[in-house]
A and B are shown apart, each in its own frame.
Chain A
Amino acid sequence: MTSTPRTLFRLDYGGKLEREIARMVASFEENKFDTEHYPQRWLAIKLLECDADILERVQAMPNGAQIIELARQGAEKIKSMLGDEVDMITADHRYGYINGVVRQTLHRPNIDRITLTDRIDDVVTHKWFGLPFFFAIMYVMFRLVIDVSAPFLDWTDAVINGPIAHLFSFLLDLVLAPAWLHSLIIDGIVAGVGGVLVFVPGLLILYFFLALLEDSGYMSRAAFVMDRFMRVVGLHGKSFIPMILGFGCAVPAVYATRTIASRRDRILTALLVPLMSCSARLPVYVVFGLAFFGSRAGTVIWAMYALGILIAMLSGMVFTRTLLKPDASSAFVLELPPYRQPSLKSVLIHMWENTREFVRKAGTVIFAASVVMWLLLNLPWGVTNQQDSYFGKVSSAISPAFAPLGFDNWETGGALVTGFIAKEIVVSTMSQIYIGGGNAQPAEPTTFSEDLIGIGQGFIEATIKSGRILLNIIPGVHLIDPQKETENTALSDALRDHFTPLSAVALLVFVLLYVPCIATLGAIKHEFGSSWAVTSAVYQTAVAWIAAFIVYQGGKLLGFG
């Protein structure tokens, strides 16, 4: 049908294989098999090589089954004659030809020189230093991400709740918007979407460092060093990259599993990623930690991260033995490329692409969720007491399920429901319910230009503060004292009325483990289909309930109640 140019280069695979290829091509005609858009010779070779992808396609074509059977016989014949699989023979010929061309054209100095890459690898993949080096890198990265981003986080928060909220207010007043629309936009959308965007500075810094590691070539060394460890949990060395990303946000982490070749490994990684405590859960730990444990809050927060990792490891072992048994495709064949100096442009592109995934989530899912939440809280129309709203009714209905975990009240039930949208909302919902919608400080009216100056000043202050913290990370340098987190006293008092320290811990464990947020489930569905998203949701909620139950009831037995 189509006439391909006959002058194309054609590699000779040797008499016996060539005869079999010709026989295959002839059989296409004999069996009235239409090769469609595939060149005949190419298809014949792929069939004899038993290429899985091509076999699948041909199977679906008319008369495909007969052709596959003929190819199978042909491949058997070649193997018995030449003692090797067809794909090995074709590879031999191809590489033989390539070697010939290279020999004729490329002249390489014939000395085994020790490159800089070799010397770096002698240290970073060293028998004794390799693992400590890896953990040191991770430690420094997290210190930088969490501490250095903190002032910028506060700045973003101030900008969103200050100037941006003012701007919206101003515009709404300008068009004489009714009070309900004002409330929907300011209390619902700006507060909801803003609450998520606050994490952007931290993510930018996290992705900046990950891009540096990736582009310099260290990432594949890390996979090399960690593979044996990850395998205990049934994972691949490369799985550790998405797992680390999971500490930032599970959404880009789920997409990051694309670097893993085997589908089985990808799914298992995506199921474990949400167990890494993401940055959205941190505010919940901080608020409860400070309210109940004061100066020991840091220990509680650290314990939550450790518990997440522990549960992920146990889950990996369980899944590897049940739903996701290892298959042949989970091979570890990884190039360790030479180290290169990362280019700023490429680092910035990586950084932006990953952050964009998160911003998109804020722009779509969180936006929609904020509107729905606002409606639930404000319907039926004219409701004044939140417990009588649809939201209050749903929350009251589910709260008995939490009684064995130590937090049987509708407010907590409601906060957990909203946490499904994004985990950090647990805190804002609680503060809305416990201390009322009027928790926002009455803003002094400011002019537009004052706002602009404020944004700029705030950014400079944040940069200076962040720079000082950066220097502080260097051992031995102490420019500032470790800052005391400012405690939200109104919320803390309210929480202490409703929780005991034990039930607070049970709640934190539940928040750590329960159903991944809707954006994460969306990403899992997008990548692996609905059934895996459902599996993830059900599995984690079950694990969360059991773990919180053990903490609360166990704690009571031990006399901590």
Chain B
Amino acid sequence: MSMSEPTQLHLLKPGQKATIIQIGGAIALRRRFIEMGIVKGETILVERHAPLGDPMEYFIKGYHLALRKEEAAHIKVILNGDTNG
């Protein structure tokens, strides 16, 4: 597993797995992320794009979550090396 550059969650492709390193955005949005278990250190898997490209579906903490790219951009991650899901 190679250490990669920090990137934003919405830039990842389906099948990629990453570790969350930082959460940004307005207080209300950040709080919503926290409520949904999107916190530092958590592993998140990109599942798929919606048919129109946005939002995207992720897998975190054992459940499926949909986020718009606009919101996922506030989540900084480090790629866990390429896996196939």
Contacts and interface: CB of A to CB of B under 8 A. Distances in A.
Interface in A456-481: none
A229 B53 CA distance: 10
A228 B67 CA distance: 11
Contact of B65 (A52, A227, A336): A336
A333 interface: yes
Contacts of A338: 64
A333 B32 contact: yes
Contacts of B50: 125, 130, 224-225, 227-228
A224 B67 contact: no
A126 interface: yes
Given A329-B28, A335-B63, A125 B48 contact: yes
A128 B53 CA distance: 11
Contacts of B63: 335-337
A128 B65 contact: no
A401 interface: no
Interface in B54-85: 54-55, 57, 63-68, 71, 85
Counting contact residues on chain A (CB < 8 A from B), the size range is 35 or more
B40 A92 contact: yes
A131 interface: yes
A130 B51 contact: yes
A36 interface: no
Nearest to B34: A91
Contact of A228 (B33, B39, B55, B71): B55
B71 A328 contact: no
Given A127-B49, A335-B65, A328 B57 contact: no
Interface in B24-43: 25-34, 36-37, 39-42
A201 interface: no
Nearest to A85: B30
Interface string B3-32: 000000000000000000001011111111
A332 B55 contact: yes
B68 A332 contact: yes
A218 to B, nearest CB: 13
Given A88-B34, A125-B48, A130-B51, A336 B27 contact: no
B1 interface: no
Contact of B57 (A125, A131, A329): A125
A219 to B, nearest CB: 12
Given A95-B39, A127-B49, A335-B36, A227 B68 contact: yes
A87 B51 CA distance: 35
Contacts of B29: 328, 331, 333
A131 B51 contact: yes
A333 B71 contact: yes
A202 interface: no
B51 A335 contact: no
Given A331-B32, A334-B65, A127 B51 contact: yes
Interface in A25-51: 50
A242 interface: no
Nearest to A232: B52
A52 B28 contact: yes
Contacts of B37: 95
Contacts of B31: 87
Q: Which of A92, A112, A228, A333: most chain B CB closer than 10 A?
A: A333
Contact of A336 (B32, B39, B42, B57): B57
Contact of B36 (A130, A227, A333): A333
Contacts of B23: 88
Nearest to A51: B31
Contacts of B85: 112
B53 to A, nearest CB: 7
Contacts of B40: 88, 92
A333 B33 contact: yes
Interface string A327-352: 01101111111100000000000000
Contacts of A223: 66
A229 B27 contact: no
Contact of A227 (B26, B54, B64): B54
Contact of A333 (B42, B52, B54, B65): B65
Interface in A271-330: 328-329
A227 B72 CA distance: 15
A343 to B, nearest CB: 21
Contacts of A125: 48, 50-51, 57
Contacts of A335: 36, 63-66
A334 B54 contact: no
Given A88-B40, A331-B71, A332-B68, A228 B52 contact: yes
B30 to A, nearest CB: 7
B70 to A, nearest CB: 8
B39 A50 contact: no
A229 B65 contact: no
A188 interface: no
Given A332-B68, A336-B57, A128 B51 contact: yes
Given A336-B63, A336-B65, 20 more contacts: A52-B27, A87-B27, A88-B30, A88-B39, A92-B39, A95-B39, A95-B42, A128-B51, A131-B51, A224-B66, A225-B50, A227-B52, A227-B55, A229-B52, A328-B26, A331-B29, A332-B71, A333-B29, A334-B65, A336-B64
9 contacts: A88-B40, A125-B48, A131-B51, A237-B55, A332-B55, A335-B64, A335-B65, A336-B63, A336-B65
State the 4 A-B residue pairs at the shortest beta-carbon distance, nearest first: A228-B52, A130-B51, A336-B64, A328-B26
